[in-house]
Chains A and B, each alone.
Chain A
Amino acid sequence: MRTLVLYLAAGVVYVAIGVAFPGFLYSAVVCAVYLAVTVWAIPERIRRLRSR
């Protein structure tokens, strides 16, 4: 459930950016990087910081 919420939140932000700047929607690579950062890298970083 936590993962689903994370993807939905990332989706809402992606759609908002895309509507404001349609060029953001063009690239599959940009989308993959965006998703890797928002649903994996940032949560992973936060998890590591918390576990210290």
Chain B
Amino acid sequence: MSWSTHDLEPYVFQRKLGLGVAFVPLLAGSYAPDILTKWFVYGFDFLGVHLRASDPAQFHRGWPGVGFTHSLAFGLVIAGLVYYFTRSRVWALSFLIGCWAHVISDIGDTVGVMLFFPFSTDHVAIDAWAYAGHLGRMTDAAAYYSGLGWTWDAFWAVCALLSWRVLTTEYFRTVIVPADPLVWQKLVRRYPEGLLLTLYRAMFFWGIARLTAWLIWAHVFNDYSFDLSWGGPHWVDAAGN
């Protein structure tokens, strides 16, 4: 899995595609494959009971499981529904781009994704970094930010920082708002522009800030060692190997 990559990719695509995409569905698409499933991968406490998938990696990326959310077909189906309900090609296309970017990014780990589900349940993976979601959120963070995963985040952080113009007030006024009559054009009539601009920038801020924070947490305040070899870090018991 990838972390800050999913926060930052939408801003980079936004910079490249301009008025051809709408930011809200682009971001929604980028989060869609994980948004309803990740909580059960890591587990959570409810009324004193810890609820968690018995095989988190299988649940997250496999079949049986909800691995179909990480397929090209899932993006197409949901984008079709988005078009059906909104009648906006821009919204549907934006969602599709965001969703496919997420799916393709997740090919990088050792579990990979069922890219061609439902035609195939084979996982497509390049095994560049260890999948450690089954070991809990903290170990997952430590592993991800010790292997090649964090360089993937860093790559998107650099691309996003080079796309800094998408964060300006002028860009928000001349591209983000005009491109999206369904959300931003309605919101700007009701709420202060400063607040909306802050919310528009928030996931960029989150991506850069949590990349920085997890690196410091793992390597300054804890002793997790970097292992930038292919498939690393090898000190963690990765799923999918």
Interface magnitude class on chain A: 10 to 19
Q: Which residues of A contact B171 (CB under 8 A)?
A: none
B209 and A40 within 8 A (CB): no
B84: CB under 8 A from chain A? no
29 contacts between A and B (CB under 8 A): A10-B205, A11-B212, A14-B209, A15-B209, A15-B213, A15-B216, A18-B209, A18-B214, A18-B217, A19-B216, A19-B217, A19-B220, A19-B221, A25-B209, A26-B137, A28-B7, A28-B202, A31-B209, A32-B199, A35-B198, A35-B199, A35-B201, A35-B202, A35-B205, A36-B195, A36-B198, A36-B202, A40-B195, A44-B194
Name the interface residues of A22-38: CB closer than 8 Å to any CB of B.
22, 25-26, 28, 31-32, 35-36
Residues of B within 8 A of A36 (CB): 195, 198-199, 202
User: A12 → chain B, closest Cβ, in Å?
Assistant: 9
Interface residues on B, range: 20 to 34
Q: How far does the Cβ of B32 sit from chain A's closest Cβ, in whole Å?
A: 13
Residue B141, interface by CB 8 Å: yes
For A27, give the chain B residue with the smallest CB separation: B206
Interface residues of A (CB under 8 A from B): 7, 10-11, 14-15, 18-19, 22, 25-26, 28, 31-32, 35-36, 39-41, 44
Give the nearest-CB partner of A38 in chain B.
Answer: B198
- Whether the Cβ atoms of B199 and A11 lie closer than 8 Å is no
User: Of all chain A residues, which has the CB nearest B167?
Assistant: A7
B24 to nearest A CB, angstroms? 13
| Chain A nearest Cβ from B152, distance in angstroms | 18
Residues from chain B with a CB closer than 8 A to the CB of A18 are: 209-210, 213-214, 217
Is B176 interfacial (CB-CB < 8 Å)? no
User: How far apart are A7's CB and chain B's nearest CB, in angstroms?
Assistant: 7
> In the bound complex, how far is the Cα of B208 from the Cα of A39, in angstroms?
16
- Residues of chain A within 8 A (CB-CB) of B198 are 35-36, 39-40
Nearest-neighbor residue (CB-CB) of A30 within chain B: B206
Contact present for B203 and A25 (CB under 8 Å):
no
